[in-house]
Structure 1
Amino acid sequence: MEDQLIRDTKLYTRWAIGLSLVLIAILPGIMFLTGYVYSVTFFKGWVCLAFVWLTIGALFITIRPMIELYKEYKK
């Protein structure tokens, strides 16, 4: 069980770092380097996407442990 936890921790840490780099640095960096001018509509869309991403992440972090606890008690 301990080995599985260590493997999962490494996997999810890599995913978190990778997604953070892509969403925070690479995508905006590409748009900056190409000289793209942000319109108000594009900025609103980007902010809405960020809020949706945060909401889904918060729900997953909150609900997933409860589901696992339920499954564990069910056994």
Structure 2
Amino acid sequence: MEDSKLIRDAKLCTRWALGLTFILIILFPSIMFITGYTYSLTFFKGWTLLAVVWLIVAGLYTTIRPLVEYYLERKTDV
């Protein structure tokens, strides 16, 4: 892979990571705090479930994707 493509992809990933961090950790809770929203138990359970599902999907993706890429790369080398 070319260095310029890696640099471009790294910048894209950094922008996405910073953007999602800002939205999910700063913006969304700030809006709810400013409006005086009272967290209900149902909302908290839903938010926690979303976080756990997000972590599981991200973990599976970062585990499985390199294996698939390795398999496809080995398949084309033969």
Q: TM-score, normalised by structure 2?
A: 0.92
Q: Secondary structure at the match of 1:35?
A: coil
Q: Deviation above 2 Å: which 4+ runs of structure 1?
A: none
Two-structure CA RMSD over aligned residues (Å): 0.7
Q: For 1:31-46, what aligned pairs fall within 5 Å after superposition?
A: 31-46=32-47
Q: 1:68 and 2:69 equivalent?
A: yes
**Corresponding residue number in structure 1 for 2:51:** 50
Q: What is the one-letter code of the residue matched to 2:26? A: A
Aligned residues: 75
Structure 2, gaps ≥5 residues long: none
Q: TM-score, normalised by structure 1?
A: 0.95
For residue 2 of structure 1, report the CA deviation from its aligned partner: 1.2
Structure 1, gaps ≥5 residues long: none
- The structure with the largest alpha-carbon Rg is 2
